[in-house]
Amino acid sequence: MSNEYRSRSSRRERRSSRWANKDSDVVEAAANQANRHLEEEPEGQNVERTSRQKLTHEKTLRIPLAVYGLLTGLSVLLALSFYAFPLWKPVATASQSQNLYSGFAMHHGLVPFNDFYGTGGTVFYLINWLGNIGGTTWLLWLFEIIALLISGILVYRLVGQQTKNQTASLTVSVFTLVIIAGLARGGDSPTLFALPFALWAARFLSSYFQDSSTDRGFIRFGMAAAFALVISPVMSVFFILSAIALIIHNVGSRKIGRGFYQMLATILGVLLVGYSVAYYSLEEQTIYTSIEQSILIPFTHFGPSGDLLLTLAKALVLTLIFGIVAGFVQGIVQLKKGGPARVWYVMMLIGIVGLTTMIVFAQTFDSSNLLAVLPFTIVFAGLGLTDSDQILLKYLQNRLFAPILAILFVVFTPISYHFMNRTIASEEQSVAQYIKANATGSDRVYVVADGKNINNLTKTISTLDNVPANYPIKFTQSYDLKVGKLSDKFVVLQASEKAPTSLKKVLDKDYKVTNYAGKYFQVYKKK
């Protein structure tokens, strides 16, 4: 009985095992089929998404050859107002003549920040040195055209990325070139050469906030930030505020790991450029002096040394004509549509207000520094044109028709400046002719004037440099010590400039007045 029961039980167990195996096979087959379906579906979606991204990428970045030609031609045309163009070099403004002098002086053994004072970064003076190869500024003028053209192309691509509209891209880039030429105030300014790096960063970050699925490019972002710093330190404010926006964005999105990687990649990019520049600075012994003159003094000394109301009036006109005020208003309008980029937009708005205020209330107002505000405003330039059919009219309305005034400003400002200063410019050339007739090629000429036009005209360098008005008292004390050893063959004094007391003593003791007769300048010669 028990044997029969055990045999029946064993048969039931074997039967149950066979059914269980069949059920297991059916479930496994169904699972495998589902897995294959799930694997094939995302792959198709990924291919489709990749193709869409590729098409969008190509549509955004591809620029017609005609557009390249138009932007190149416009860049050359606008660059004709730059003082590096040899025809206009003799009548350069005070700040432009000093920058143009720097490259020539470096070719004759002088070191920026040590032998003459500097406002730009180390690489800015290296650009001027390279641009003065051959004894002319043709190469420097070419560099300015390239910087202008690259800026226009980057703006075109940024707006194209935002609007996917070629007309909008071309409209904004053309008027932006006019704005750049106007704010550069003669071309040879640190902000012009640093601008392409900031505009590249603006386009990079705009793309990142639209689609933050990749962390590629942050090494280049760090390199761009470093180049901006060593060319025009004021331009680095854009990178600092953008970095703060990235940190807030990553923390708010709980992307701490990605944020840490981005930080390391950015630091690596900064170091790649920073070490190279630091090596040159160590060789020339300018690390501290360059940091002090291009960063510490401009960022720590405020309060206009001249007429405050006149400075405010100039700043108001420039910010209105070149769209800084309109760009700020446009940014506020776009805040509610910012999405993931809202934090970045807020930092851009803070930058517009903060940087403009800092530039206006600096001890020496340099209008070319307002070009550093352009990357902040250009972020919003294309956003207001996405839903418009009449692109040109919409852009002009958004900018309160200021771009038209900007065109007039670029054309007529140099003309009016030359007209008002024609008598001084004429006498500068007379002084230059007198010095050329009475000096040899190795003689040095110290000029106490608001610019370096006489040195540029005579192709001479100076042993001393005039201390800028916004520099601390220790620089004046150092000047008083050095001027006692002045050995330059000629000293030229401009009537409107107040000669330091220490220089007057040296002139009375070691120099005599020449027979040059002029209204605005007096020439002294070594006894």
222, 91: one domain = yes
Q: Are residues 315 and 382 in the same domain?
A: yes
Say yes or no to pLDDT of 59 above 80.
no
Q: How many whole angstroms separate alpha carbon 208 and alpha carbon 228?
A: 20
CA atoms within 13 A on the CB side of 10: 6
Q: What is the mean pLDDT of residues 194-204?
A: 96
Model pLDDT, residue 14: 52
The backbone torsions φ and ψ at residue 431, rounded to the nearest 5 degrees and listed phi first, read -60, -40
Does one domain contain both 293 and 161?
A: yes
* CB 231 within 8 Å of CB 144: no
Which pLDDT tens digit goes with each residue over 61-97?
Answer: 578 899 999 999 999 999 999 999 988 888 888 899 9
pLDDT band at residue 212 under the 50/70/90 scheme: low
pLDDT confidence of 12, banded at 50, 70, 90?
Answer: very low
Above 70 in pLDDT, residue 527? yes
In a domain, 207, yes or no: yes
Residue 197 CA to residue 189 CA, distance in Å, equals 15
**Interatomic CA distance for residues 469 and 363, integer angstroms:** 8
Same domain, 300 and 152: yes
297: Cβ contacts below 8 Å, ≥ 6 apart: 470, 471, 472
Strands 521-526 and 445-448: unpaired
pLDDT at 61: 53
Contacts of 416 (CB under 8 A, 6+ apart): none
Q: What is the pLDDT of residues 24-39, one digit of tens each?
A: 444 344 434 433 443 3
Q: Is residue 23 part of a domain?
A: no
Q: Say yes or no: 342 and 489 in one domain.
A: no
Contact status, residue 343 vs residue 252, Cβ threshold 8 Å:
yes
**Given this model, what pLDDT does residue 31 score?**
39
Final residue in a domain of this structure, among 340, 367, 400? 400
Task: Report the DSSP pairing between strands 490-494 and 445-448.
Answer: parallel
Task: Tell me: pLDDT of 205 over 90.
Answer: yes
Strands of the sheet containing 490-494, edge to edge, are 445-448, 490-494, 521-526, 511-513
DSSP assignment letter at 467: P
Residues 220 and 361 in one domain: yes
Please write the tens of the pLDDT for every residue from 140-187.
Answer: 999 999 999 999 999 999 999 888 888 889 999 999 999 999 998 888
Q: 8-12, 167-171, 305-309, 444-448 — which one is most confidently predicted on average?
A: 444-448
Q: Tell me if 384 sits within 8 A of 333, measured CB to CB.
A: yes
On whether both 210 and 338 belong to a single domain, the answer is: yes
Tell me the residue type at 492: V
523: pLDDT strictly greater than 70: yes
User: Residue range 513-527: average pLDDT?
Assistant: 91
Residue 81 located in a structural domain: yes
Answer whether residue 19 shows pLDDT above 80: no
% of the chain surpassing 90 pLDDT? 55
Residue 101 and residue 237 in one domain: yes
Please report whether residue 95 resides in a domain: yes
Q: How many domains would you assign to the chain?
A: 2
Domain carrying residue 441: 423-526
Query: Is residue 453 domain-shared with residue 362, that is, in the same domain?
Result: no
Q: For 409-431, what is the mean pLDDT?
A: 88
- Closest residue by Cα to residue 458 from 483, 439, 482: 439
Q: 203 and 157 share a domain?
A: yes
Residue 179 domain-assigned (yes or no): yes
pTM of the model: 0.85
**Are 438 and 391 within one domain?**
no
- Cβ atoms of residues 64 and 431 within 8 Å: no
Task: Decide if 316 contacts 325 (C-beta within 8 A).
Answer: no
Mean of pLDDT values over 261-272:
94
In the predicted structure, residue 482 carries a pLDDT above the cut 60: yes
Tell me the average pLDDT across 191-219: 89
Asked, for residue 174, whether it belongs to a domain, the answer is: yes
Mean of the per-residue pLDDT values for the chain?
Answer: 85
Percentage of the chain lying above the pLDDT 70 cut: 87
Is residue 301 domain-resident? yes
- Kindly state the average pLDDT of the residues 27-53: 41
pLDDT at 7 over 80: no
Say if residue 451 is in the same domain as residue 335.
no
pLDDT, one tens digit per residue, over 294-323 is 999 988 888 776 778 888 888 899 998 898
Answer yes or no: is pLDDT of 388 > 60. yes
The pLDDT value given to residue 431: 94
447: β partners: 492
How high is the pLDDT of residue 116?
A: 93
Q: Give the separation between CA 19 and CA 41, rounded to whole angstroms.
A: 33
